[in-house]
Amino acid sequence: MLDIAVTILLILCGFGFIRYSAREDLDRRDRLNLRFLWLYHLLFSVLFYIFISNNSADANGYWRIAKNASWDDFYFFLTQGPGTYFIYVFNFIPSHVLDLHIFTGTVFYSLLSFIGFVFFYKMAKTLISFNTNVFGIPLFPYIFFLPSFHFWTVGVGKDSLLLFCIGTFGYAILNLRKRYLLLLLSLALTYMVRPHILILLLVSFGFGYLFSSKVKGYKRVLSFAILIGLSIIVLPRVFAYANIDGYNLDSVFSRFDRQAQNLSGQDVGSSIDITSYSYPMKFFTFLFRPLFFDAKNALYLLASVENLIFLLLTLKLIVSKPIQAIRKAPLLFKGYLLFLLFGTLLFSSILGNLGIILRMKIMVFPGFILYMLWAFSFKTETETTNLEQLSKNTEGYG
């Protein structure tokens, strides 16, 4: 009975959060879109639960180990720092103390990741002026309904929490004076889940501040120094978390090679030997595979369709005055674009498994989607302005 009551409460919390978030800057259509998105997200909670019930998955271990742990185990988990042990700590109260079923846990994690989606939605509404149609279909908000964004972010585990963190981080950046507590929450939680992702965020937005023409010079330098300083403080913990010996490039690349070989050697039907790939091929593999020639089941076939969509959108982005768009982009979108680039540089060198690649891309792609939407909007706005100016200049002639 408790599982049923908590599940219903979590579902209602999702609708309540939509209503709360819509008070300031979302209209009736936006509220309707987000309600459909929440129901859609919940559908994938059910599908993901069915999937993990019939397959081995990290989510099962995260919940089962926390559920069977004692209080002594809980105190031990607390002393082990970030990563997997933190997930056991995070799950201990709902799974062990409340004795909730993993399906209820799945709905709980779904709510957290959905909050991240709401923040991405609000960022798009706040900063993007023109919607772009592709084959007569508006990209916003339908691009947020791509299945992979939901399937990999509803489960008990790190991916769902990180989507919440990355969405919350960007939303807080938009108005730091009012949302600094959200920023601190996102930073702390990101560190506890995957500290290297925190480094990527801090470095990406640090350089975003440095190259932002819309921020005053001294604020750019100060913000850059603070974020890079935080990265340096966190860096030793990241090296310890990743089992890297020594603070030199040889140790880092040696760890990358070992990780790539380990993942490539896993016999899970989706391993690839990236150690023999050139860097452009590694980047392409991380960003746009699996494609149809990799599709070994329905899940990979669906992912291939989505990756083809992203590939076509990226090509469209490349031919849409990309340098000018990058220069004019708001700080938020610069930061997310750099987050994609730095994340690609890192993960493309160590991930030799298409299944893991599918999950890891979820962290960097929502921000990239925001940047693409803005870049397409910027192109439309520029062309409209040029046409209006041309029309004014030619008035009276003819």
Judge whether residue 345 has pLDDT over 90: no
Q: For residues 17 and 149, state if they share a domain.
A: yes
- Count of domains for the chain: 2
Asked whether residue 110 is domain-assigned, the answer is yes
- Lowest mean pLDDT segment, chosen from 20-29, 34-43, 216-225: 216-225
Query: Helix (H, G, I), strand (E, B), or coil: what is residue 351?
Result: coil
Any idea which of 132-136, 232-236, 373-377 has the lowest mean pLDDT? 232-236
Both 240 and 187 in one domain: the answer is: no
DSSP labels, 139-183: HHHHGGG-HHHHHTTSSSSHHHHHHHHHHHHHHHHHTHHHHHHHH
- The answer to whether residue 268 scores a pLDDT higher than 90 is no
- State the average pLDDT over residues 358-382: 90
Asked if residue 115 and residue 15 are part of one domain, the reply reads yes
The long-range contacts involving 47-51, CB below 8 angstroms and separated by at least 24 positions, are 47/151, 48/106, 48/151, 48/154, 48/155, 49/102, 49/103, 49/106
pLDDT at 381: 84
Does residue 27 belong to any structural domain of this protein?
Answer: yes
Q: In the chain, which ranges are continuous DSSP H helix? A: 2-25, 28-54, 58-68, 71-78, 84-91, 102-127, 139-142, 147-151, 158-174, 176-193, 195-210, 217-241, 249-264, 279-288, 298-318, 322-328, 331-347, 354-393
- Cβ-contact 190, 198 below 8 angstroms: yes
What is the SS3 assignment for 26? Answer: coil
> What Å distances lie between residue 381 and 76, 132, 274, 386, CA to CA?
56, 11, 41, 9
Going 114 to 116 to 119 to 124, the CA torsion angle's sign is negative
Share of the chain above pLDDT 70, in %: 85
- 251 and 128 in a single domain? The answer is no
| Residues in Cβ contact with 64 at an 8 Å cutoff, skipping those fewer than 6 apart | 102
For residues 32 and 169, state if they share a domain.
Answer: yes
Quick one: average pLDDT of 221-230?
Answer: 75
Please check whether residue 348 lies inside any domain of the structure: yes
pTM: 0.89
Average pLDDT over residues 52-63: 91
Predicted pLDDT at 251? 45
- In a domain, residue 230? The reply is no
> Which pLDDT band holds residue 229 (cuts at 50, 70, 90)?
confident
Last residue of a domain, one of 170, 193, 216: 193
Judgement on whether residues 135 and 42 belong to the same structural domain of the protein = yes
What confidence tier does 324 reach under pLDDT thresholds 50, 70, 90?
Answer: confident
Same domain, 239 and 189: no
Task: Give me the pLDDT at residue 215, please.
Answer: 66
Query: What are all long-range contacts of 61-69, with beta carbons under 8 Å and residues at least 24 apart?
Result: 62/87, 62/88, 62/91, 62/156, 62/157, 63/91, 63/95, 63/102, 63/105, 63/156, 64/102, 66/90, 66/91, 66/92, 66/95, 66/96, 67/91, 67/95, 67/96, 67/99, 68/96, 69/96
Q: How far apart are CA 228 and CA 221, in angstroms?
A: 10
How large is the average pLDDT for residues 15-38? 92
The answer to whether position 220 is within a domain reads: no
Separation CA 340–CA 150 (nearest Å): 19
What integer is the mean pLDDT of 273-287? 85
Q: How high is the pLDDT of residue 77? A: 95
Q: Do residues 37 and 183 both lie within one domain?
A: yes
pLDDT of residue 98: 95
d(CA 302, CA 168): 28
Flag whether 198 is in a domain. Answer: no
Max avg pLDDT among 183-192, 261-270, 274-283: 183-192
DSSP 115-128: HHHHHHHHHHHHH-
Residue with the bigger pLDDT between 220 and 398: it is 220
Residue 66 domain flag: yes
Average pLDDT of span 224-249:
64
Domain membership flag for residue 226: no
Mean pLDDT of the region 275-297:
85
Provide the mean pLDDT of the chain: 85
Is the omega angle on the peptide bond into residue 290 within 30 degrees of 0, that is, cis? yes
For the CA atoms of 26, 30, 34, 37, the dihedral, rounded to the nearest 10 degrees, stands at: -150
Question: Which of 28-42, 253-267, 300-314 is least confident?
Answer: 253-267
The Cα–Cα gap between 34 and 25 comes to 13
Q: For residue 136, give its domain range.
A: 1-193
The SS3 of residue 99 is coil
Last residue in a domain, options 166, 193, 220: 193
Question: Which of 193, 226, 255 finishes a domain?
Answer: 193
For residues 336 and 240, membership in a common domain is answered with: yes
Reply yes or no: is the peptide bond before residue 236 cis, omega within 30 of 0: no
What is the per-residue pLDDT for 352?
75
Tell me, yes or no, whether 283 and 179 share the same domain.
no
Over residues 156-167, the pLDDT tens digits come to 999 999 999 999
Question: Which of helix, strand or coil describes residue 311?
Answer: helix
Mapped onto helix, strand or coil, the DSSP state of residue 133 is strand
